[in-house]
Structure 1
């Protein structure tokens, strides 16, 4: 499993990198198919946020959905511990759901009787590795006029899914909303967290005309 550690507006020491690797070595207990874990460390310079000046984001990339957790504390070691607790819980829940799904939908593998050469030629090309946090185009930041406000933009690939699956994906990444393509209506939609254990869904009417994109993240 590959571990990539990057610092956003801060340096990352070798001591912290080694600590991260020691901590993340336990990820495979809940996610044996994890291919890579992205670790982003951010330093907040605002003195009024000294108790949350260090933020650590963890993103596990495997064959299934992306699982993410983040936390902030007054030092990055403490933030890493808090983020790891959240990540382990989400990995555990994801693994339990996967086991439950396999129990409900048993699959009998089909026997391929084609000649070996034909089977080899029909194999799909290997999937490219997902871009790392350092990759250009993963996120674009720009300042809002002369103000100190910084807007961070990302471009994601929409995936058709049901609303209940979108809720599960949102819980796995620890966000308050999740963008997706509704499988039934084929419209862009967003599920979001409301009070308690209730959720809301917003769909976009894509029949608007005369609207041209101003710019592109690519």
Structure 2
């Protein structure tokens, strides 16, 4: 597994490189087919103890990309936190695969027909689906209009990829996001899985009216 370390506004010393390489041995044991261990270190403008350096770790290889990032008072602290998150995501992925070993993949339609019992996923409440379909936003309290303030909405576009529901959950966990957009492989419906409490997840899909 190749190890690549890059710094932005911060120097990368031989000591730090040796430290990172010593940590990759555990990752190589957990993911023997991993091809690249990428580390990006950036010096943040805020030099407070909490937000000194930012480290992003990306593991590339066959299968989904695993990514985690963290800020710390220095690059060693930030790396250790991000590294711990990477290990946790690898373990969660392996636990989920072990839990469903021997079971066939479930399409979104089949999972919905059985109330998602087979994939540990809870469908979104009816009111959520209706608000998504109509574009309506609930008003919280009588003073909501007075408290309104403009917000910046960022727009991103990604190529559509087809996954089963369980594979989409794995992708979400490995990049550390709270939701993941995908096209359900069995029905070709645009769908999103999202994290609930613990090991519970939700799924929302769009159907033509």
TM-score band, normalised by shorter chain: 0.5 to 0.7
CA contact (8 A) 2:4 2:36 kept: yes
CA contact (8 A) 2:93 2:173 kept: no
- Mapped to 2, the partners of 1:153 and 1:18 lie a distance apart of 39
Deviations 1:125-176 (A, max 9, x none): xxxxxxxxxxxxxxxxxxxxxxxxx999876443211223212221122112
More contact order relative to length (CA 8 Å, sep ≥ 6):
2
Task: Provide the residue aligned with 2:86 in structure 1.
Answer: 87
Matches within 5 A, 1:112-123: none
Task: Provide the residue aligned with 1:140 in structure 2.
Answer: none
Structure 2, unaligned stretches of length 5 or more? 105-151
TM-fit CA distance, 1:78 = 1.0
- Mapped to 2, the partners of 1:190 and 1:103 lie a distance apart of 25
Task: Select which of 170, 173, 183 maps to 2:172.
Answer: 170
- Mapped to 2, the partners of 1:159 and 1:56 lie a distance apart of 28
CA contact (8 A) 2:54 2:69 kept: yes
TM-score by length of 2: 0.62
Aligned partner of residue 19 in structure 1, secondary structure: helix
Matches within 5 A, 1:21-60: 21-47=21-47, 50-60=49-59
TM-fit CA distance, 1:77 = 0.2
- Mapped to 2, the partners of 1:154 and 1:66 lie a distance apart of 19
- Structure 1 vs Structure 2 CA RMSD: 3.2
Aligned partner of residue 89 in structure 2, secondary structure: helix
CA contact (8 A) 1:30 1:95 kept: no
TM-fit CA distance, 1:97 = 4.3
Would you say how many aligned residue pairs link Structure 1 and Structure 2? Answer: 162
Structure 1, unaligned stretches of length 5 or more? 106-149, 208-218
Matched, 1:193 2:195: yes
Task: Provide the residue aligned with 1:179 in structure 2.
Answer: 181
- Mapped to 1, the partners of 2:156 and 2:18 lie a distance apart of 29
